């Protein structure tokens, strides 16, 4: 569709746009387009940064999960040894504790005696 300008700048067919009015709207559209382009660019960079942060956080959570699994395994092994120890003879354990207490008592007595 070709527009033919008539003497005063009005387009043929009388669409209501003058040459100067059209350029005002075009300039406004260009300004809004540039503003939108800037905002889209900012949102894009922000979303890329968020994605990078999410990847780092997921990696850290995975490492923590592995650490907790290994700590849980160590704690489970310790609890198993404690159960084995508690199933043993109670008199034997009591005898060991009494001997240890006597040893500590004699060491403390000897230290006090030397002063």
Q: How does pLDDT run along the chain (115 residues), one tens digit per residue? A: 444 444 444 444 445 555 566 788 899 999 999 999 999 999 999 999 999 999 999 999 999 999 988 888 888 888 888 787 777 667 777 888 899 999 999 999 999 988 7
DSSP string, 22-49: HHHHHHHHHHHHHHHHHHHHHHHHHHHH
Q: What residues does 10 pair with on adjacent strands?
A: 18
> Quick check: is 76 in a domain?
yes
In a domain, 54, yes or no: yes
Number of domains in the chain: 1
* Domain contains 95: no
Q: What is the pTM of this model?
A: 0.46
CA separation for the pair 15, 24 (Å, rounded): 16
CB 3 within 8 A of CB 12: yes
Residue 65 in domain: yes
Residue 42 placed within a domain:
yes
In a domain, residue 79? The reply is: yes
Which residue in this structure is represented by tokens 């382009």? 37
Residue 44: domain span: 23-88
Give domain status of residue 112, yes or no.
no
DSSP state of 114: H
Task: Assess if residue 55 is contained within a domain.
Answer: yes
Distance of CA 9 to the CA centre of its chain: 61
């Amino acid at each position: 569709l070709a527009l033919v300008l008539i003497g005063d700048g009005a387009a043929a067919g009388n669409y209501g746009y003058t040459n100067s009015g059209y350029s005002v709207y075009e300039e406004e559209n260009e300004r809004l387009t540039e503003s939108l382009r800037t905002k889209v660019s900012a949102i894009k960079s922000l979303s890329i940064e968020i994605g990078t942060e999410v990847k780092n956080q997921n990696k850290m959570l995975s490492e923590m999960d592995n650490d907790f699994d290994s700590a849980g395994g160590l704690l489970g092994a310790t609890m198993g040894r404690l159960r084995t120890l508690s199933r043993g003879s109670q008199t034997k354990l009591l005898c060991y504790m009494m001997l240890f207490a006597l040893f500590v008592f004699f060491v403390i007595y000897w230290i006090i005696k030397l002063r």
